[in-house]
Structure 1
Amino acid sequence: MTSPGNPTVPPGETDASTRRRVAQSILEHGPSTAAELATRLSLTPAAIRRHLSALLESGDLEAREQRVRGQRGRGRPAKVFALTDAGRTGFRQSYDDLAVHALRALAEHGGDGAVAAFARDRVAGVEQRYREQLDAHPELSPGEILARVLTDDGYVASVQPAHGGEQLCQHHCPIAHVAEEFPQLCAAETEAFADLLGVHVQRLATIAEGDGVCTTNIPDLTDPVPTTTRAHRPRGRKAAR
């Protein structure tokens, strides 16, 4: 039964919640035809077509030709609808929960030091790819290269000028839910940024703590650096000159 106000939406639901149910059904049952989805979700054919069209347009779904095992009947095969990577993003909460439970177990058996070591290992890939791109892109500043590497990891990062240097902004955090409980993940990132750039950086805001953007202040790499980071300075292009 659908809502009197909108014949394609069940009572008590909005378009968004109905589309969430459509995506959830595909996640649980795999690629599905429109008829299968309409039956499972008690939606009319017109309703399911409208919601599928919206999910296709948003990039959350893709349409494929249904695979037929054995003898194929007459007529065109039915289309099946499958989640794209973008469509799966909204369901990664369960993976976050698994990661939280795993880190809790690690902390219980290995202590905070084990969690910190895990956090450092996790950012090792960022460090490696930063160094690879540093010489490959002489037209970019070290901060811009770091932003590019972080964007490849899903952080949607950018760099903008700031007083006395730059600000590194991470507009999305794939691990925000986990980092809320384990700030060692953010701390390891900050340490890695300082190590790579060869200068003391300061984390001003994090999504894990409720801020809209993760913001890190990067001082001008041409300025003198503190003694504690001077040994790492050659890793930043400007600092190496």
Structure 2
Amino acid sequence: MKNVGETREAPMGTPQDDLATGEHSTRGRVARSILDHGPSTVAELADRLGLTAAAVRRHLDALVADTVVEPREQRVYGSRGRGRPAKVFALTDCGRDAFDQSYDKLAADALRWIATAAGGGEKGEAAVAAFARARIAAQIEAYRGSVEAAGPAGGARALADALSADGYAATTRAAPGGQGEQLCQHHCPVAHVAEQFPQLCEAEKEAFSQLLGTHVQRLATIANGDGVCTTFVPRTPHGAATDSEPLTERTAGRNPA
């Protein structure tokens, strides 16, 4: 009978995705056991999970490489016996965050409270929009120097680089028809909250427009179920497009995802 720890597993995505989506891979079970029981030795993990020590070490090596867990010397309280303390494996902050799903709920609850405190209805929506604009303004101000230094021709690329440094995995590509560029954000840290509060996406689009000095058009968002947040950045100066053919999804180019 083949040991469960020696079965061949399907390739994994990022460790955070694997753990957060609850896939019952053996590697995820190892990490979950450490979360539930605290820093653990190889022997303890093997005993709890019914795996061989060799199988546990293999999965721990992968988790260490992915910065999900880290090895430490076991803390000993009271008198310590002879010999080196046993090595234990503990979750890193990155690994712990993969299991923690409370941040989105906290943010959504806070925005809901803002809307209610402002009186609900249109007043509540306006209050959330004001918060969204203030939030993105503080973030985008840090990008201004590099975007302005890049000039009109390189502004979108500089913005993508700045967004990538903040975890948005942003790229640019030429838009179909040669009218401009598509700024693509392949990751959105606030996507789940933005599903409930689209003011976050709208404020971001407005901030991009102000920073780049031209109107931009949002073609797709992760919060709306698209694979990528895609923003069309025209090469024409602000307002010039309105003098000729208005921007549409056909003229701007479709979302590449």
TM-score, with structure 1 as normaliser: 0.77
1:193 aligns with 2:208: yes
1:143 aligns with 2:156: yes
Distance 1:28 1:152 in 2: 33
| CA spacing shift, 1:26–1:156, aligned 2, 3 Å | same
1:91 aligns with 2:99: yes
| CA spacing shift, 1:97–1:79, aligned 2, 3 Å | same
1:56 aligns with 2:64: yes
Partner of 2:233: 218
Partner of 2:129: 116
| CA spacing shift, 1:52–1:164, aligned 2, 3 Å | same
SS in 2 for 1:204: strand
Structure 1 position 124, deviation (Å): 2.3
SS in 2 for 1:64: strand
| CA spacing shift, 1:8–1:186, aligned 2, 3 Å | same
Distance 1:49 1:106 in 2: 48
1:162-173 superposed matches below 5 A: 162=175, 163-173=178-188
1:46-85 superposed matches below 5 A: 46-69=54-77, 71-85=79-93
Where structure 2 has 5 or more consecutive residues not aligned to the other structure, the ranges are 13-22, 119-123, 241-257
Where structure 1 has 5 or more consecutive residues not aligned to the other structure, the ranges are 228-241
Name which of structure 1's ranges 178-187 and 84-93 shifts more when overlaid on structure 2: 84-93
Partner of 1:33: 41
| CA spacing shift, 1:142–1:90, aligned 2, 3 Å | same
Name which of structure 1's ranges 81-90 and 153-162 shifts more when overlaid on structure 2: 81-90
Name which of structure 1's ranges 38-47 and 185-194 shifts more when overlaid on structure 2: 38-47
Partner of 2:165: 152
Displacement over 6 Å in runs of 4+: none
Letter in 2 for 1:120: R
Structure 1 position 125, deviation (Å): 3.0
SS in 1 for 2:143: helix
Structure 1 position 57, deviation (Å): 3.4
Contact 1:126 1:149 in 2 (8 A): no
Letter in 1 for 2:181: E
Distance 1:204 1:92 in 2: 31
Distance 1:213 1:6 in 2: 41
Distance 1:28 1:195 in 2: 47
Name which of structure 1's ranges 43-52 and 94-103 shifts more when overlaid on structure 2: 43-52
Partner of 1:22: 30
Partner of 1:236: none
Letter in 1 for 2:197: F
Contact 1:26 1:32 in 2 (8 A): yes
Name which of structure 1's ranges 90-99 and 44-53 shifts more when overlaid on structure 2: 44-53
Partner of 1:8: 5
Distance 2:103 2:34 in 1: 17
1:126 aligns with 2:139: yes
Distance 2:83 2:227 in 1: 51
